């Protein structure tokens, strides 16, 4: 099972990237290979110019193509996914997610934009061909408390939701 994660936060210290990391750690033992694509680390000029020939971007797109499972994490910005994530998703071929299992994750300042996963992110994933989109996991900032070491402490309810969302992937990994 090849697992590729896409982190769409522009922030270095990122709650959504942390949530993604938690998901990755839970699947790591069963995965054949895994890669996290931090879109913020791709060359900005090439990303904005849609230069799919730039080596780091080409490699990232190829990794997505090879993946069986794609986990997509974004902060909620202005009631939708981040522009950074969209800049990367725009470079994927039209059917890039067809046949893959896709798990959407998001973090937001409050629960008010919980539905952004359903009305904003999932339609884009579906437009890219994804037909197996797992239950998304949304975390409010208060559910990921900052720790002095730079990480975050996830509350129990959030960990339970993440565990449930990952069950179909974990079952596929160990089949
Ligand atoms: C420019 C900007 C816009 C934001 N817009 C929203 C929003 O519309 N709804 C919301 O719930 N949180 C909003 N937030 C809060 C972030 O979504 C939240 O802090 C999130 O956890 C940040 O994720 P990150 O640490 O991975 O970047 C916004 C934050 C920024 C910086």
Per-residue pLDDT reduced to its tens digit, 53-83 = 999 999 999 999 999 999 999 999 999 999 9
Give which of 107, 141, 105, 110 is closest to 125, Cα–Cα. 105
Region 36-57 average pLDDT: 98
> Is 4's pLDDT higher than 90?
yes
Q: Which residue has the higher pLDDT, 115 or 25?
A: 115
* Ligand 1: lining residues by beta carbon, under 6 Å: 9, 11, 14-17, 75-79, 107-110, 112-113, 141
Kindly state the average pLDDT of the residues 1-15. 96
Q: pTM surpassing 0.85?
A: yes
**pLDDT exceeds 80 at position 30:** no
pLDDT of residue 14: 98
Mean pLDDT of the chain: 95
Using most ligand atoms within 8 A of CB, pick from 23, 38, 72, 76 the residue to mutate for ligand 1: 76
């Amino acid at each position: 099972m090849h697992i590729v994660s896409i982190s769409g936060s522009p922030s270095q210290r990122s709650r959504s990237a942390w949530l993604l990391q938690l998901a990755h750690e839970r699947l790591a033992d069963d995965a054949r290979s895994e890669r996290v694509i931090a879109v913020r680390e791709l060359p900005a000029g090439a990303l904005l110019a849609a230069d799919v020939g730039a080596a780091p971007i080409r490699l990232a797109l190829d990794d997505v193509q090879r993946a069986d499972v794609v986990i997509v994490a974004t902060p909620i910005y202005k009631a939708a996914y981040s522009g950074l994530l969209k800049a990367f998703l725009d470079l994927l071929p039209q059917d890039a997610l067809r046949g893959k299992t896709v798990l959407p994750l998001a973090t937001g300042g409050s629960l008010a934009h919980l539905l952004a996963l359903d009305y904003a992110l999932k339609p884009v994933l579906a437009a890219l061909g994804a037909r197996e989109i797992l239950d998304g996991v949304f975390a409010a900032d208060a559910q990921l408390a900052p720790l002095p070491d730079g990480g975050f402490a996830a509350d129990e309810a959030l960990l339970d939701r993440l565990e449930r969302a990952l069950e179909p992937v974990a079952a596929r990994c160990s089949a």
